[in-house]
Amino acid sequence: MIGPEARTLVVGHQVVEIELETDDRPHSTGLLIRVDGDKRWSSEEPGWRDIGCGVDGDILVWSARRLLAVPLQLGTEVNVVDCDEDIIAVFRVLSLWLLVCESSLRLASEGGELSDVVSEARWDQDVLLVGCGDGAYVRVVAVADQLKVLPAA
């Protein structure tokens, strides 16, 4: 049964349930992920940021400090990427993960540092627009598994 702190995603013909136990927020959030009723993952995550989720072939779920890429197929391992700063958003770029963090961009486990706190990130065609706390935007593209910051438009 899905409780009041739950999300349900329908992906094709599969049902993904993401249950959150928030009694210990902001310290931690309990996380349970099921696909078609089968438990795929459970953990305690940092509770100071909301859990984010998306779909890009896999089910993407991220907390403040961890990305989980949960395959829809049974028997396939969950891909776990830990991070040492808060994750704002996650995108798949080429065969890697682009983590938009509070003060950096990370492609896989490496990235380019930004000079300001990230407030948002969104795609404009093939360019990632990263909004900084001062209102400025940084434009980023991925070329040959590397991040390139474009000149201001």
| pLDDT, greater one: 108 or 73 | 73
pLDDT of 61 > 80? The answer is yes
- Whole-prediction pTM: 0.76
Domain residue spans of the chain = 1-82, 84-153
Could you tell me if 19 and 32 are in contact, meaning their C-beta atoms sit under 8 angstroms apart?
yes
Q: What is the pLDDT of residues 101-117, one digit of tens each?
A: 988 887 653 344 555 67
> Are 63 and 87 a contacting pair, CB within 8 Å?
yes
What average pLDDT is seen over the chain?
Answer: 85
Report DSSP state, residue 114. Answer: P
Q: How confident is the model at residue 147 (pLDDT cuts 50, 70, 90)?
A: confident
Strands 14-21 vs 28-35: parallel, antiparallel or unpaired: antiparallel
Of the ranges 16-20, 111-115, 119-123, which one carries the lowest mean pLDDT score? 111-115
31 with 19: CB under 8 angstroms? Answer: yes
